[in-house]
Structure 1
Amino acid sequence: MTQQHIRLDEYLGQAFDRIPVAMVVVNLQGTITRLNRLAETTFGYPSEELLGRPVEVLVPERYRHAHPGYRKGFQAEATARPMGAGRDLSGLRKDGSEFPVEIGINPVETGEGPMILSVILDLSERKQSERRIHEALREKELLLEEVHHRVKNNMQVIHSLLDLQVLKISDPDLVTMLRDSQNRIRSMSMIHQTLYQSHDFAQVDFQQFLGELLPTLMDSYGMVSGHVAMEVSANNVKLPINEAIPCGLIVNELVSNALKHGFRGHRRGAIRVGLQQETNGDVELSISNDGIEIPPDQNLERNGSLGLQLVQLLTRQLQGTLEIQRANPTCFTLRFSLGRHA
């Protein structure tokens, strides 16, 4: 062992060869002066083949032209830091194979003058694990995408079957009931369609959902579509699907009720749907209209329509509260917290 190696060993300590990371020491000219056993194993060289050679031998050829510049930049501001921050770095083994690395460089003062100590982490296993995780997540995303697509299609089939049933029924009350059921199915189908289109299977963009649902409800009650304005303010709120489906059904029921009962005789007015979310997760959904008011003597708990009973049931499912204002304007306000219900 040369005198230089002895003095470097005294500086680096006896643990140099036992440290479980690859370590390479180079001088300011970029010449390799020392490496530990793990560095030999990582790069596939015995130490005698690397000592005295430029460190660029461990760098893929396409990157070698830039490497001296990086080294000089480090020497100009010699503080410990990661090398190539923000860039994917690669090492080159003796057999010509490349592998991903992370490098930390540290200035050291030795009896032979200033040196650069490089700590090299082989990221091959980590990258492979990340790749496997990414592939597994992608498979799950594709599966969820297919599930939501199939759910939407199945609901559309049910909707079409109800269409066929309506053609065979002459009772207008039964026809209305079936149309209401179709609207509920369409509402759930649209939520799945929103998920399918956005590829975000955890959150439903409620603004987008309302933008698709409300025009179809207006079309369903075409007799008032020219007289009733629809105003939406959802502030780009996104809801988990467990909350989005009940909220979507509530909007469907209350807007449908307003269109059916609030604007008889071509009465003009507006329906407003608002959704806002606080930073603590509390959500407020309001559906209001300036149409015909709810009579003060009507018992909504006992004598309400099936739609209102469904709204109350969904409110309990969300573990929320429902506040009803009967006039000036008629307004239903639902408040709940995200994730509260199972």
Structure 2
Amino acid sequence: MTNKEGFCRAIKTIFPNTAHAFCQAHYLKNIAEPVADVDESLKVSLRKNVRSEIGDLIRSEHHGEAQGRVLTVTGILPSPIDDPESNTPPKKIREEQEDIVNALIRRSRYLLTLKGRPPFRLAGIEMFERLTGLILELDEFICHIPDSRLLELQQGICIALKNASNEYADIKNAAGWLQDISDLLEVDEKNPRTSKNVRMELFVYLASIKKQGEGNPILTDFAPKICKTTSNYASGLFHSYDNLDIPRTNNERESEFREFKRRFLKITGQKGATLRLIQRSGAWELIPTPNSISEIVSAISQTDFGEFCKERQRVRSHRERFRLHTRSADQANNQLKKLRERWLEIPADELSE
């Protein structure tokens, strides 16, 4: 007997007339397991294929910047500057080209590290789509200046994506099923439904995905597993539609545990955060803030201004490496837009490969 079965029997014995609801969020996560497993396989194979095609290219830039990636600054923390690039001397054309190419290579390398968060954030699908978006972005860069490394990057990713396209299409289809089931379970306040209505709609939809999966070995495997898990949850999946006091998920209660854990980690120290902060922001040793203007002047006067500016620029350059290390599509698109604008400002006729 599993823990779930024993728990349900105990509830039924002690509270025989009480409707015991199952968390719909856990239900969605469980029906996503077979899809998530195949998606994980897609992610691994896609990452392997990309590294097989352009591994030397994406690793070369990384090794080139290995030295000095952790910075230590001792002294007064400088005040924030609104425009970090305003006091930076203009770069030479070749240096600007190198910076932009390296940033695009770093973006491709970062996309190979994505992790899945089922039921809806599937890393294999996301990696495929983000890499597809990247090669489309590279078209404009290459049209302006046909840099050999960007051409190699684009061609290598294209080959890897082509090899995974069929598997991606099947998993994307199954991911659509998960989203449809989630939408079907949503409460419509304008058109309320009874538990009987929702149950019927759900099982009708499950019958339809069985037909959709016929003839496809991957989808044929997904549909029965989703149906079986749904049958196991059916006894407690629909009570909330008849009784609005019964929550559809355990999210509110689990958020209390997450908040407790967050506060606990805030007090005791977050595991893994120290290394991540050091790698991305550098290690800083700060002296106490002076209490008066005279003390501030005295402290700053002991710091060589040239060395201070040089160290500040090192910190900016270090942080710049992580600009495209973001899963947010909006943030990534914004950074790519800035890179594209900088790239188009490079005079192509003055630059030779």
Give the TM-score, by structure 2 length. 0.24
Q: Which has the higher contact order (CA 8 A, sep 6+)?
A: 2
Give the TM-score, by structure 1 length. 0.24
More helix by share: 2
More strand by share: 1
